[in-house]
Amino acid sequence: MTSHDVVASLRRILGIKKIGHAGTLDPEVTGVLPICIGKATRISEFLMESPKKYQGQLTLGKSTTTQDFTGETTERVDVYGVTKEEIERVFESFIGEIEQVPPMYSSVKIHGKKLYELARQGKEVVRKPRKVTIYDLKLIGCDLEHNNPTIDFQVVCSKGTYVRTLCVDIGNKLGYPAHMSKLVRLESGSFNLEQSLSLEEVERHVKENKLDEILVPMANSLPDFQEVVLSDEEILNKVFNGQVIRVESLKFDEGIFKVVNRDGKLVALYEKAKDSLIAKPIKVFK
């Protein structure tokens, strides 16, 4: 099931058209897929910027057309002599800002065409590397006793990181072809696997009129944003009308911040420039 399929199913279950997701999951990947409903679709761009945490497995000695287990095998070799210590050294070399070449089987566009469309036609084009950040990369297990060893890992990475490409690049540094054999998204920003629900569970909550029990308030979904609580009706009216507001007493100097009312409801996102005494509206939620 694709991320688009999940959204389509939820539109049917909830009877709401304005639904979107905050970060595509490839069909073969399971795990956390944040869903935005109604007004919350307007903050999806901020949710997508959040780091993602995955648990995955790479297999050494075999490469595929798609860089994962769904593709056709392009190379197969026996693997000898790889050690846990060597794997850990290679993992450490990937932490920080790195460059990745997007895989051919991806939705990246070149000259108006998606790469996977070209790949399905048997074409390969030159792709420019992109900068991504690997915040953490941990070895959590490995089976090195076979000709095609498996390596289990957890990675925390920035938006736009292709974990399957990371698996291939790790294999290259170890001296062998490789592909991603498993992947689960454990976290996306403030959302984690433990609080996630299946489509069946969502449908049950709807039938029992308990949908509110599983919805996360917009303000809570942006925990990394500074928060300003406004109770002054005159200033709140300015916010609702999308006007600039004076912010002399803020404890932070610059950036996007949440404006909430006394009930904790998100009413707007504002941005303050460095050394400025005013803040300008980014999003207003009427």
- Give the model's pLDDT for residue 220: 95
Final residue of a structural domain among 140, 172, 188: 188
Do 163 and 100 have their domain in common? yes
Final residue of a structural domain among 163, 188, 213: 188
Nearest Cα residue to 54 out of 73, 72, 31: 31
- Give the model's pLDDT for residue 104: 76
Per-residue tokens: 16: 């709401």
Nearest Cα residue to 95 out of 55, 135, 48: 135
Pairing of strands 178-188, 30-31: parallel
Do 193 and 175 have their domain in common? no
pTM of the model as a whole: 0.91
Do 243 and 217 have their domain in common? no
Q: Structural domain tally of the chain?
A: 3
Do 201 and 263 have their domain in common? no
Are 103 and 93 in contact by the 8 Å Cβ rule? The answer is no
- DSSP assignments along 197-229, one per residue: --HHHHHHHHHTT-GGGGPPPGGGG-TTSEEEE
Contacts of 187 by beta carbon, 8 Å cutoff, 6+ apart = 32, 51, 52, 53, 156, 193
Do 87 and 63 have their domain in common? yes
Do 172 and 74 have their domain in common? yes
Do 286 and 259 have their domain in common? yes
Do 283 and 234 have their domain in common? yes
How far is residue 51's CA from residue 40's CA, in Å, rounded to a whole number? Answer: 19
In single-letter form, the type of residue at position 284 comes to V
Q: What is the largest CA-CA distance in the chain?
A: 72
In single-letter form, the type of residue at position 42 comes to R
Is 64 exposed, middle or buried (CB count within 10 Å of its CB: 0-12, 13-18, 19+)?
buried
Integer angstrom CA distances of residue 127 from 94, 102, 104, 133:
20, 7, 8, 19
List the CATH number of the domain containing 277. Answer: 2.30.130.10
Which member of 26, 224, 253, 275 is catalytic?
A: 26
Do 180 and 195 have their domain in common? no
Instruction: Return per-residue pLDDT of the chain as tens, 286 residues.
Output: 889 999 999 999 999 999 999 988 888 899 999 999 999 999 999 999 999 999 999 999 999 999 999 999 999 999 999 999 999 999 999 999 999 988 877 777 877 778 877 778 787 777 889 999 999 999 999 999 888 999 999 999 999 999 999 999 999 999 999 999 999 999 999 999 999 999 999 999 999 999 999 999 999 999 999 999 988 888 899 999 999 998 876 777 789 999 999 999 999 999 998 888 899 999 999 8
**Backbone φ/ψ region at 72: left (φ over 0), alpha (ψ -120 to 50), beta:** beta
Are 199 and 30 in contact by the 8 Å Cβ rule? The answer is no
Tell me how crowded residue 207 is: count the other CB atoms within 10 A of its CB: 10
Q: Compute the 3-state secondary structure of the chain and give helix, strand, coil in percent, each to the nearest 5.
A: 30, 35, 40
Domain coverage including residue 231 = 225-286
Residue 179 three-state SS: strand
Do 113 and 168 have their domain in common? yes
List the CATH number of the domain containing 74. Answer: 3.30.2350.10
| Catalytic status, residue 26 | yes
Are 170 and 90 in contact by the 8 Å Cβ rule? The answer is yes
Do 211 and 195 have their domain in common? yes
Do 31 and 63 have their domain in common? no
